Amino acid sequence: MKKARAHCLVLPYPAQGHINPLLQFSKRLEHKGARVTLVTTHFIINSLHKESSSSSIQLETISDGFDEGGYEEAGSAEAYLERFWLVGPKTLVELLEKLSSSGNQVDCIVYDSFMPWVLDIAKKFGLIGAVIFTQCNAVNNIYYHVHRGKLKLPLSDTEFLLPGLPPLAPYDLPSFLYAFGTYPGFLEMVVGQFSNIEKADWVLCNTIYELETEVTDWMAKMWPVRTIGPAIPSMFLDKQLEDDRDYGFSIFKPDSEACMKWLDDKPIGSVVYVSFGSWATLDAEQMDEIANGLKDCGSPFLWVVRTSEEDKLPKDILNTSNEKGLVVTWCPQLQVLAHESVGCFMTHCGWNSILEALSLGVPMIGVPQISDQSTNAKFIMDVWKMGIRTHVDEKGIVSRQAVESCIREILDGDRGKEIKSNANKWKTLAVEAVDEGGSSDKNIEEFVSKLVY
């Protein structure tokens, strides 16, 4: 019998750091022979800026209940998730029925682990259900132990020993745990990822097996775990996917030309690139300390400050000459990290940003803010040894002196040489993982082959 192309519906959680990796994974599925439809919310689809990548991946939408303003319209995490979890399932069922009636039958649903209700719908329709985790397996392990009641909240111990992980202090755990009571809606969501995981046919993880071998092996004893990362555009890794140079969509419009032109004039390895992602917010005092630390370090800097955060900047930083520093509202991060002038990346330690820096061999300075970022920063410094985690004072602020010291240590110090060497080692392993015959490539191949009938 002639084999048919399986049709996969891919549903990311509607945030930039989740859409990007699931869109990239969709391209890998398509490259291996599957047909893919990416599904996001009405608000997100109307907010996306199209980038240069061409792809035959189709787009469809469901509703989160806030079609005019998304998360901002909801006013709080709790209100957003409550409404989305009510409206989302109904509109997903409507989408599946529409696709089926038009002869566009779905065979499999790949869904973000933040939305476990999707699996219940997949099973209701008799479809293969594959959950995909967009955070590292170390963090997944921690949340699983909270789910099982083996990690009690609020925290009372001073050290935590979990399978496959090094000893962790309270501040090495996600912020939802050590700052118990903050963002209760998000804590419920990240712990709820495991509410029905035993029903999933596949458990996919956007990580590299060689990066998290022990914890991945431990997870694989319970579930059909497969690593499929790093899910970033192919041209920055294995180059198997022709012309795959960007993710394809962005919620924020990047100032690409200004960023790249400015970088072109800077010496190799001299620039400090600073970005705290699409979600994290810093208070005015912290912004002031970072601004002064950047000015004092003597190195040129490129700083991404979202429009909503600009009013917190000290006025003189915006008057800095373009030779010394450039502040933009958004930029093409992968292209920036790949530029030869960039010597280090000051980051909030979001997982997607880490995978990007790791895949390009860029040393990191971790300034974690919220969620999984504190755990990621722990591994950057103490396990993978490809960066430094900044110290905070008694108010939780990273001082200008700490910012300056970290930058100088990476760009000019002896420790920086070791960090750069380790960064290059992980870069090599990232490329090998997704290249033909690599650990992630074989797992994606296996997944698609099991879908074809």
If you search the block for the tokens 């590292």, which residue do you land on? 136
Would you state the structure tokens that stand for residue 107, as one six-digit string?
A: 């065979």
**Ranges of H-type helices in 342-438:** 351-360, 373-378, 400-412, 414-434
Which among 179, 141, 147 has a CA at the least distance from the CA of 162?
A: 141
Q: Has 18 been annotated as catalytic?
A: yes
- CA atoms within 13 Å, Cβ hemisphere of 395: 7
Would you state the structure tokens that stand for residue 121, as one six-digit string?
A: 């719908």
Tell me phi and psi for residue 258, to 5 degrees: -65, -40
Q: Has 372 been annotated as catalytic?
A: no
Q: Of these residues, 7, 18, 42, 145, which one is catalytic?
A: 18
Q: Of these residues, 64, 112, 201, 246, which one is catalytic?
A: 112
Which among 259, 260, 251 has a CA at the least distance from the CA of 278?
A: 251
CA–CA gap between residue 348 and residue 329 (Å, rounded): 16
If you search the block for the tokens 């990548």, which residue do you land on? 53
Strands 108-112 and 128-133, by their bridges, are: parallel
Would you state the structure tokens that stand for residue 285, as one six-digit string?
A: 């005092």
Task: Give the strand order in the sheet containing 364-366.
Answer: 325-328, 301-304, 271-275, 342-347, 364-366, 387-389
Distances (CA, A) of 330 to 14, 54, 209, 243, 306: 18, 22, 31, 23, 6
Q: Would you give the end-to-end CA distance of the chain in angstroms?
A: 9
Distances (CA, A) of 318 to 29, 263, 355: 43, 18, 30
Please calculate the CA angle 348-353-355 and round it to the nearest 5 degrees.
Answer: 130
Would you state the structure tokens that stand for residue 250, as one six-digit string?
A: 């962005």
Would you state the structure tokens that stand for residue 286, as one six-digit string?
A: 């912290």
Q: Which residues are catalytic?
A: 18, 112
